[in-house]
Amino acid sequence: MVLNAQESMLDLLSDDEPTVEYATAGFKTTRIINGHSFEMNSEGVLDFKISHRFGRLNGGAYELFGLDAASIRIGFDYGVTPWLNVGVGRSSVGKMYDGFVKMKFLRQQTGKKNIPISILWVSDLAVSSLRNTNSEIEPYLKSHRLFYTHQLIFGRKFTEGISVQFMPSIVHRNFVMTRAESSDVFVLGVGGRVKLSKRVALNVEYYYTLPNQLDPRYTNSLSIGFDIETGGHVFQLHFTNSTGMVENAFMTETTGDWLKGDIHFGFNVSRVFTLYSPKG
């Protein structure tokens, strides 16, 4: 009787203990469209990503509305721990190799602790392997090929169907063509997701470059698309004025103008593999 009474008391105490409920699935993948979302790969999970951007729609029938031209990035993202992801990739645009580290400092949760937002940090290093064909740029050092991007992500899942994030970023370019351009470029990004059905969501992503930092021919990056989840795959179909798929490229090298029809159709395919399951 005494043992049963103690067990009943422990059960009551357990029921009274506050639990932690984390916000999950704010976005369907770790990318909104081009840039990072506030989602992370779980520990031991490898995410294989193929990203494709076709030519401009205003190329007309001769270019099959952009389908004759294409840019591609192949990447691998890996969950080292629940709060640390790393990744590498190779893009045809600029023949760019890139790698990143992504860390989550706070995770949105309720219950024992009430934390209203998730906060993450992303650092990216990219190097161009393009040959120097411009005789005016001599010497063209290896260090000139390097680009660094650092980004804070503040994200919140407001409801089961709406998530928003804000991404202040800085891109450092080791080499610029003119004195009028800044080596350090400050960019403000915003992204959002609206869930349309169990397996389909609408995503929007916009990066605003602060004035007087870039050559006038460059524009702000705007992308709109849909996520479609099918089993272990997530297909992202979208329209964007950017061809670059690495941070320094789409933040500081976008030349397309939506109002002029400089729009690229593209897609991302994500396939996850569980390499190991952590104990416990």
- The token pair that represents 45 in the structure block: 């999970």
Q: How far is CA 113 from CA 14, 26, 82, 108, 121, in A?
A: 17, 19, 18, 9, 21
Helix, strand, coil proportions of the chain in percent (round to 5)? Answer: 15, 50, 35
pLDDT bin (cut points 50, 70, 90) of residue 126 is very high
Cα–Cα distance between 36 and 262 in angstroms, integer? 23
Per-residue pLDDT at 154 exceeds 80: yes
Lookup result for tokens 């990004």: 189
Q: Above pLDDT 90, what percent of the chain?
A: 63
Assigned CATH for 26-274: 2.40.160.40
What tokens does 27 get?
A: 């976005």
- At residue 278, the pLDDT reads 82
Residue 228 identity? I
Bigger pLDDT: 70 vs 203: 203
The residue-averaged pLDDT of 262-273 equals 92
Confidence (pLDDT) at 210: 94
Q: Can you tell me the distance from the alpha carbon of 94 to that of 49, in angstroms, rounded to the nearest whole number?
A: 19
Q: Using only C-alpha atoms, what is the Rg of the chain?
A: 22
**First-to-last C-alpha distance (Å) of the chain:** 33
The mean predicted confidence, pLDDT, of the chain is 88
Q: What pLDDT is recorded for position 90? A: 96
CA 48 to mean position of chain CA atoms: 14
Give pLDDT tens digits for 241-257.
999 999 999 999 999 99
> Is residue 231 pLDDT above 50, yes or no?
yes
- Sequence-ordered list of residues with C-beta below 8 angstroms from that of 262, at least 6 positions apart, any chain: 56, 58, 241, 255, 256
What is the pairing mode between strands 84-91 and 45-56?
unpaired
User: What pLDDT, in 10s, does the model give residues 56-68?
Assistant: 888 777 777 777 7
Residue type present at position 75:
G
CA angle, 189 as apex, 148 and 106 as ends, to 5°?
80
**Could you read off the pLDDT of 190-203 as tens digits, one per residue?**
999 999 998 999 99
Q: Give me the residue spans of the domains in the chain.
A: 26-274
CB 69 within 8 A of CB 62: no
Tokens of 176: 């610029």
pLDDT in tens, 10-48: 555 455 567 888 888 899 999 999 999 999 999 999 999
Q: Residue 112: pLDDT above 90?
A: no
Residue 182 has phi, psi (to 5 degrees) of -90, 140
Name the region of 235 (left: φ>0; alpha: ψ -120 to 50; beta: rest).
beta
CA-closest candidate to residue 173, choices 185, 189, 187: 185
Q: What is the pLDDT of residue 191?
A: 98
Which residue type sits at 185?
V
Confidence at residue 140, expressed as pLDDT on a 0 to 100 scale: 56
